[in-house]
Amino acid sequence: MRSRLLRAVGVPALVVAAALASTGAAPYASATSAAVGGPVGVLAAPDIPLANVKAHLTQLQSIATANGGNRAHGRPGYLASINYVRAQLDAVGFTTSVQSFTYSGATGYNLIADWPGGDPSNVLMTGAHLDSVTAGPGINDNGSGSAAILEVALAVARANLTPAKHLRFGWWGAEELGLRGSQYYVNNLPAAERTRIKQYLNFDMVGSPNAGYFVYDGDNSDGVGSGPGPAGSAQIEQTIQAYFTSIGVPTRGTDFDGRSDYGPFIAVGIPAGGTFTGAEGIKSSAQATLWGGTAGSAFDPCYHRACDTSTNINDTALNRNADAIAYTVWELAATAPPPGTTVYSDTFETATGWTANPAGTDTATLGQWVRADPAATSSGVATQLGTTVSGTFDLVTGPLAGASAGDHDLDGGVSSVQSPSISLPGSGTLTLSFSWYLAHLNNASSADYLRVRVVGGSTSTVLNVTGAATNRAAAWQSASVNVSGFAGQSVRILVDAADASGASLVEAAVDDVKIVQS
């Protein structure tokens, strides 16, 4: 990361839904319960092994040690770092290329790696700078980000991932001299290629020894500083926040201040985001209370120094951030839909016969399920989204905004809505997919929930997300479930949500329901 004092924003950033009570450094737990007739197919990212990430850091340290103690631009240690990363990627099926450029009389290199498949007009790019300063080996800055995204790329290969978006990874040269490598890459992209990159994820210093947990403020929810990133940056922020919320780790926003390689991307309107664990800035007492560590000390006391070695890493922070990167790549790339025939599809742009309170047993006094064009509402965090997954309408618990966020939220008990009868074919693999969110404030509890069930000859719960005493902002999530156990039956999809915690604020929504036969 380039030298310049970072202003660490102290205002809580957006906290997003990921409801499933996973704690510590565990991977994100899918919100879908046991599938019917087969394995769950939710976009579930793998747990990135910390040992693998640290093994890459050991290699980068060895490279620096063998090459004058650094991996800086124009020095042999940098080219050796490029060759190491490239060899890992070539071995598992990535298409790699090295882009050379000249700065300050020396040759620099960017490494670009593309995973086969995905929509080439819809590229999700993930990057980190690979160079160090001349003073030291740069293991936290930025071996940590480089090693983490390398292991995520290798996890893509291990999973043989077939994403809907095209996945590209980049390792940048000469960042420490002013973002020279990433700037060269963006400047030399043909206009048509530039428009194909829809989002860029940047990870620079993700293992600081006195770590903080910062997420780039894509929607300017901190209200100060550099302002929001290009449209689409907020989705990146919210997705990253979803992972940290799922493991119970609070985060804070940090501005796009131009210090790292997102800069050239947002300058041309490409949405960006990422995580950061702190550089030379001083951890405050409030931050030490929030995250642990030492108040009054730098997040990284070895920032740009010779002591930024393999011992200058917080394993917990590195592990959490590596898993957050994987979660974000998996979520934003999305799994390609299975080929085959669409049996049922509803985007809720027209009325198709869903019935509210189908059993006549609902107890909610407000916030009944309706098909509607929802109004955006918030109370510190977004509680109801004014945007849907596609089109204008979705299924939502009370679509109006009102004078305050709680005027039309779900209140008083259970609200349910049920699809019309759906006749399923008797053969093939049947996959139900849909988008959803559950939002609530910190007056909620585990008694509040969003649940989706398939009802036929038997009933199966395919989504069961419960509340908690924390703010959880609305953010669309995706689910995909094998329902082949219902083959040959007529089924209905039953959605219900509950506000059962007294005076709690709860909102929920569902969109883009589909069943595909393959």
Q: Please report whether residue 20 resides in a domain.
A: no
- To the query of whether residue 237 is one of the catalytic residues in this protein, the response is no
Are 175 and 232 in a shared domain? yes
HSE-CB for 87 with a 13 A CA cutoff: 8
Burial class (CB in 10 A: 0-12, 13-18, 19+), 98: middle
* 353 Ramachandran zone, left/alpha/beta (phi>0; psi -120 to 50): left
Q: Is the pLDDT of residue 486 over 90?
A: yes
Q: Is the pLDDT of residue 56 over 80?
A: yes
**pLDDT at residue 30, as a whole number:** 30
**pLDDT at residue 221, as a whole number:** 56
Are 351 and 295 in a shared domain? no
* 374 neighbors 385 (Cβ within 8 angstroms): yes
Given 289, 316, 333, which residue is the final one in a domain? 333
**Nearest by Cα to 281 from 252, 301, 261, 267:** 301
Are 425 and 492 in a shared domain? yes
Burial pattern 458-494, b for ≥16 Cβ within 10 A else e, equals eebebbebbbbebbbbbbbbbbbbbbbbbbebebbbb
CA distance 265 to 262: 5
DSSP code string of 113-167: EE-S-SEEEEEEEEEEE--B-TTS--IIIIIIHHHHHHHHHHHHHHTT--BSEEE
Mean pLDDT, residues 184-191 taken together: 97
Q: Is the pLDDT of residue 371 over 50?
A: yes
pLDDT, one tens digit per residue, over 127-179 is: 999 999 999 999 999 999 999 999 999 999 999 999 989 999 999 999 999 99
Mean pLDDT, residues 36-56 taken together: 71
Among 11-25, 82-96, 335-349, which stretch is predicted with the lowest mean pLDDT?
11-25
Q: Please report whether residue 363 resides in a domain.
A: yes
Are 304 and 407 in a shared domain? no
* 206 Ramachandran zone, left/alpha/beta (phi>0; psi -120 to 50): alpha
**pLDDT at residue 336, as a whole number:** 53
**pLDDT at residue 456, as a whole number:** 93
The neighbour count for residue 332, using CB atoms within 10 Å, is: 23
CA distance 164 to 336: 4
Q: Is the pLDDT of residue 185 over 70?
A: yes
DSSP 68: T
**pLDDT at residue 404, as a whole number:** 76
Q: pLDDT tier at 503 (50, 70, 90 boundaries)?
A: confident
Burial class (CB in 10 A: 0-12, 13-18, 19+), 403: exposed
**pLDDT at residue 228, as a whole number:** 56
Q: Please report whether residue 41 resides in a domain.
A: no
Average pLDDT value for the chain? 88
Are 328 and 347 in a shared domain? no
Specify the CATH number for the domain of residue 396.
2.60.120.200
* 410 neighbors 397 (Cβ within 8 angstroms): yes
pLDDT, one tens digit per residue, over 260-270 is: 999 999 999 99
Strand partners, 184: none
Given 317, 333, 349, which residue is the final one in a domain? 333
**One-letter identity of residue 116:** P
Number of domains observed in the structure of the chain: 2
- Residue 121's alpha-carbon distances to 165, 166, 168, 198, 438, in angstroms, are 8, 8, 12, 8, 31
CA distance 121 to 42: 24
Sequence length of the chain is: 518
Q: pLDDT tier at 428 (50, 70, 90 boundaries)?
A: confident
Are 380 and 275 in a shared domain? no
* 367 neighbors 398 (Cβ within 8 angstroms): yes
Are 260 and 354 in a shared domain? no
Q: Please report whether residue 18 resides in a domain.
A: no
Q: Is the pLDDT of residue 345 over 80?
A: yes
Q: Please report whether residue 202 resides in a domain.
A: yes
Q: Please report whether residue 286 resides in a domain.
A: yes
Are 357 and 312 in a shared domain? no
* 35 neighbors 41 (Cβ within 8 angstroms): yes
Q: Please report whether residue 134 resides in a domain.
A: yes
Are 96 and 226 in a shared domain? yes
Are 328 and 391 in a shared domain? no
Are 358 and 271 in a shared domain? no
Q: Is the pLDDT of residue 280 over 60?
A: yes
Mean pLDDT, residues 441-457 taken together: 93
Specify the CATH number for the domain of residue 271.
3.40.630.10
* 114 neighbors 92 (Cβ within 8 angstroms): no
- Residue 6's alpha-carbon distances to 56, 61, 256, 454, in angstroms, are 27, 26, 10, 50
Which of these is catalytic: 175, 176, 237, 280?
A: 175
User: What are the start-end ranges of the E strands in 278-376?
Assistant: 341-346, 355-356, 369-372
Mean pLDDT, residues 213-227 taken together: 66
Query: By residue range, what is the domain housing residue 79?
Result: 50-333
CA distance 339 to 74: 48
Given 311, 333, 355, which residue is the final one in a domain? 333
Helix (H, G, I), strand (E, B) or coil at 414: strand
- Residue 128's alpha-carbon distances to 59, 156, 185, 256, in angstroms, are 17, 17, 13, 15
Q: Please report whether residue 36 resides in a domain.
A: no
Q: pLDDT tier at 506 (50, 70, 90 boundaries)?
A: very high
Are 203 and 118 in a shared domain? yes
Name every residue whose Cβ is closer than 8 Å to that of residue 195 and which is 6 or more positions away in sequence: none
**Nearest by Cα to 493 from 363, 344, 361, 360:** 344
